[in-house]
Structure 1
């Protein structure tokens, strides 16, 4: 047996065992006849129809200058005032690094950013709330845009 085969075989067996163990792991989704503890009210349906996942991307300042832009306290105040009040049943926030190159600019802007993920019913009222949030951020920061991505979502709590 070659030295490569001797070193590869144990790793391949270990990987196979890990994969097989994952197949036997219990589901964490509350399926299989065991309902989730949160099911039973409108904001935590067992299975949702006509729900979407909306991601909102907020630039908070230059990546290389932490003194410019919106600091963490300013972001948290905006989140509490503008987003959490409109989507009180829950959301997720991620810190990210992003880039944006304006048309005609010689190089992209490198930005600290936040992504807010909302899972919600697809309806005019929620669309209006999202547009209010985007408008509030642009008014507060002078930014020209808040990227919005909305996709269908299968939701179960």
Structure 2
């Protein structure tokens, strides 16, 4: 989205995102209460990070990020940073920008599963920065969770 406080316009979008992510990764054992958040993955699972990036497609000065522009950004910026794979989900979102107006817009969610590393953190920051600059966005929402996966 184009603000730090992005929200999805429909529960079905969130369910679709969760379903698509679960199709790629199995769920492991949740950490026991009081464990300080440390994740203990079950047998056969690995601990990964799941970063979901929310890209709003409305351009503040007018217009939309076209399908061709999105594909070019994905091919030139996101895929080279995460060649091992990713998931792209079409979404509809809304947010309240600095102007105070509620904006509804088409969006893309990119789900990245990766081992936690400074290299990947820097790559994600570069992707967000490139999108913000190229399409004059206020922000790109990033959500991060530790997950258990098996391939």
Which TM-score bucket, shorter chain as reference?
0.5 to 0.7
Match in the other structure for 2:102: 108
* Residues 40-90 of structure 1, C-alpha deviations (whole Å, 9 max, x = no match): xxxxxx5323x111000001127xxxx921100100000000000000010
User: What TM-score, normalized by structure 2, do the two folds share?
Assistant: 0.67
Q: Structure 2: which 5+ runs fail to align? A: 1-25, 27-43
2:125 matches 1:131: yes
Q: Structure 1: which 5+ runs fail to align? A: 1-28, 30-45
Q: Secondary structure at the match of 2:58?
A: strand
Q: State how far apart, in whole Å, the 2-side matches of 1:55 and 1:129 are.
A: 13
Match in the other structure for 1:48: 46
Select the structure with the greater relative contact order (CA < 8 A; seq sep ≥ 6).
2
User: What TM-score, normalized by structure 1, do the two folds share?
Assistant: 0.64
Q: Secondary structure at the match of 1:83?
A: helix
Aligned Cα root-mean-square deviation (Å): 1.7
Cα deviation for residue 108 of structure 1 reads 0.7
Match in the other structure for 2:81: 86
Q: 2:64 aligns with which of 49, 69, 81?
A: 69
What is the aligned residue count?
Answer: 107
